[in-house]
Amino acid sequence: MTINQRPRRDQQGQDHLELLSAYLDSEVSAEEQSRVELRLHNDTTLVDEFEELQSTCAALRELAWVTPPRSFTLDASTVRLPKTRSLLWMRFGGVFATLLVAATFMTMFSMTDGTSNIASATPQTGNPNTFLSPVSEVALPPVAAEEEESVPMDEAGSTFRESGEIGAVAFPTASIASPERKPRDESESIPSQPLSPATGPIGQGAASGKTTAQPGRPGDLAVVPSPGTVAEAPDAQEPAATGHGPGQNAILGFTLLIVGLLMTIGGLGLLSWLFLGHPAR
Amino acid sequence: MADEERRLVEAGQRGDIEAFNQLVEMYERRVYNLCYRMLGDADSAADATQDSFLSAFRHLQRFRGGSFRSWLLRIATNTCYDVLRSRKRRPTISLDAARESEDGMIPFDPPDPGESPDEFALRRERSKVLEEAIAALPEDQRITVILSDVQGLSYNEIAEITGSNLGTIKSRLSRARARLRDVLKARELLPSRYRHTDE
């Protein structure tokens, strides 16, 4: 017997056993029945095998039926409880879904509005913990603190009040930060002006004119990080510059809203499947 | 009987719990025995039976006619599969199973009239070996042999309950029978005569 003959014989044996087993239950076609009966008539080993199967089935049928330990009739309170639970889930699920959709909607629109106004909004808040804060932390301490001490507050204030100077100082900073954006005209760079007061000490340092005038000094560090500041400002202006209008924002918002709704429905379905049990399959 | 069953099902679909409980009483023995043979211990079988009837009542609106018994046994089968799956995730030792394995207790099975003590003892021994052998079968073969040879259902009904085709049922059943035959032969417990006993 070769190696390849064994699986074939096993398969034949299985087919043969399957046919005998089905014949035992009268679950064969007329053609199969006559074939099995002919073989049983001629093959004594097949008869033995068939009788063994018969005996096995007889032993299985002899297995005692177990008496249930109790009645399984349903109690009205047992049956009603899951319904209440289901309604409870639906109610809270609905509230949750509404809140989620509202939150998605508000977040989305605040993001799109905030993107276009981010440069101007930041100085108004005057919060040092905004995206500009790393600049003041990294760049300023050694020199800017020095500059703060050397420049009285009144002077600094008067310096800021001189709008012409602010423009003169802040604008070159933007030019240093992104020379490849040079083709932009002045009107594009102007929104970077309000960044200077937000940086506080940077503005003061820059306003004093010392850091930009002496590149070899550590004061340059106060200017170098400002690309981070200014590099974000042109990006923030991108939507307006590239023509992203409120219509596109609305489409984006609507898409996100639909996605949020679908995710909510899917999540609720999953929750109800998990907590309310499997349906009859 | 079929008309009465249909009437009870329709009443149950309208929320009549008393009517549904009549169906429970009709089928609780069959469902419990299926769960007991599939799960191997009385407590799990009782829980699975209760869950099956509860699930059946909750989803009764989905029953679209046909055999209510098949539909109910299908729910019971799926409940048993769920229990077996959860056991695989969190293996535990059943106290019932432990107790049974310690003292060799099997369900009460009174002697047949005219059965000698020797025959009764042999039959008890054979039942014990068979139960262990059934419990050791793969799940798909186990449910098939229980529904066919223990509960006496037709191939078509088994196919409906398990959601398999007739060819698969024949194949699973023949494999299961062959395994059980080998176990009984090895213990020299094969009965010498073919005897058909109904429920």
Structure ipTM: 0.85
Domain boundary residue, one of B42, B62, B90: B90
pLDDT, averaged across chain A? 62
pLDDT of residue A92: 63
Interface test with B, best of A72, A84, A281 (most B CBs within 10 A): A72
Domain that holds residue B125: 105-199
Q: What is the mean pLDDT of residues B15-42?
A: 96
* Cα–Cα distances in angstroms (integers) from residue A179 to residues A172, A174, A185, A189, B187, in the given order: 10, 8, 12, 12, 92
Residue B95 located in a structural domain = no
Question: With pLDDT > 70 as the criterion, what percentage of chain A qualifies?
Answer: 37
The Cα-based distances of A128 to A132, A150, A181, A198 in angstroms read 7, 22, 27, 7
Q: How far apart are CA A177 and CA A226, in angstroms?
A: 7
pLDDT at B8 over 90: yes
- The verdict on residue B198 lying in a domain is yes
Give pLDDT tens digits for A175-196. Answer: 344 444 444 444 444 444 444 4
> Are B19 and B46 found together in one domain?
yes
User: Model confidence at B164, in pLDDT bands (50, 70, 90)?
Assistant: very high
In 3D space, the residue among B101, B154, B149 whose CA is nearest the CA of residue B128 turns out to be B101
Burial of A112: CB neighbours in 10 Å, binned 0-12, 13-18, 19+: middle
- Whether the per-residue pLDDT at A208 is higher than 80: the answer is no
- What pLDDT does residue B183 have? 95
B162 occurs within a structural domain: yes
Question: A59 to chain B: which residues are within 8 Å by CB?
Answer: 126-127, 130, 180, 184, 189-191
Q: Which residues are CB-contacts of A9 (< 8 A; sequence separation ≥ 6)?
A: A1
Q: Are residues B69 and B16 in the same domain?
A: yes
Averaged pLDDT, B152-176: 96
Final residue in a domain of this structure, among B31, B60, B90: B90
Say what the pLDDT of residue A201 is: 42
B71 chain-A contacts, CB cut-off 8 A: 280
* Selected residues 51-70 of chain A with any CB under 8 Å from a CB in chain B: 51-70
Residues B115 and B145 placed together within one structural domain of the fold: yes
- Whole-angstrom distance, CA of residue A97 vs CA of residue B107: 52
With 0-12 CB in 10 A as exposed, 13-18 as middle and 19+ as buried, what is A115?
middle
Do B198 and B110 share a structural domain? Answer: yes
The single-letter DSSP state of residue A217 is S
**Does residue B99 belong to any structural domain of this protein?**
no
Q: Are residues B85 and B113 in the same domain?
A: no
**pLDDT, greater one: A270 or A49:** A49
What is the pLDDT, as a whole number, of residue A13? 75
Residues B80 and B115 in one domain: no
Mean pLDDT of chain B: 87
Most confident of A173-182, B24-33, B113-122: B24-33
Work out the pLDDT band at A205, boundaries 50, 70, 90. very low
- If you average pLDDT over each of A4-18, A23-37, A213-227, which comes out highest? A23-37
Query: Dihedral of CA B19/A72/B133/A9: which sign?
Result: positive
Instruction: Indicate whether B114 and B78 sit together in one domain.
Output: no
Q: Domain ends where: B90, B119, B153? A: B90
Asked if residue B156 is part of any domain, the answer here is yes
Q: How large is the average pLDDT for residues B69-96?
A: 86
> In chain A, what residues touch B32 (CB-CB under 8 Å)?
66, 68, 72
Domain count for chain B: 2
Q: How far is CA B5 from the centre of its chain?
A: 21
Does pLDDT of A172 surpass 60?
Answer: no
Instruction: Give the pLDDT confidence score for residue B130 in this predicted structure.
Output: 94
Yes or no, beta carbons of B190 and A56 under 8 Å apart: yes
A107: pLDDT confidence band, cut at 50, 70 and 90? confident
Altogether, the residues listed in chain A come to a count of 281
Q: What is the pLDDT of residue B126?
A: 92
**Looking at the structure, do residues B117 and B197 belong to the same domain, yes or no?**
yes
Please enumerate, as own/partner, the contacts of B183-189 that have beta carbons within 8 Å and a separation of 24 or more: B183/B129, B183/B130, B183/B133, B184/A55, B184/A56, B184/A59, B184/B126, B184/B129, B184/B130, B184/B133, B185/A52, B187/B129, B189/A59, B189/B122, B189/B125, B189/B126, B189/B129
Residues B69 and B126 in one domain: no
Between the alpha carbon of residue B48 and those of residues A272, B39, B43, the distances in Å are 21, 9, 9
